[in-house]
Amino acid sequence: MAEERVRSEMTGKVWKIVTKVGDKVSDGDEIMILESMKMEIPVMVDTDGTIKEFLVGEGDEVTEDQEIAILET
């Protein structure tokens, strides 16, 4: 089974993780919501798969391009 690493497209903070480990997701689904500069930016996956692991938790700071979750595809 292949793995796909989801990266943050911006610097900010994890506001809310809206899925959980084991959830099946499809291309375009929101898995968590980041916030920065008064904006909420949803993180969407670009492939179908199952969430294997989150590499960050709610409230954590993230930087651009940081790996934030692992999908099993």
Residues 6 or more apart whose CB falls under 8 angstroms from that of 35 comprise: 12, 13, 15, 41
Structure-token pair, residue 57: 């938790």
CB of 48 to other proteins, least distance (A): 19
Handedness of CA 51, 22, 33, 69 (dihedral sign): negative
- Member of 2, 20, 26, 37 binding other proteins (CB under 8 A): 37
- Member of 41, 44, 55, 70 binding other proteins (CB under 8 A): 41
CB of 38 to other proteins, least distance (A): 5
Q: List interacting residues with other proteins (CB under 8 A).
A: 9-13, 36-41, 64
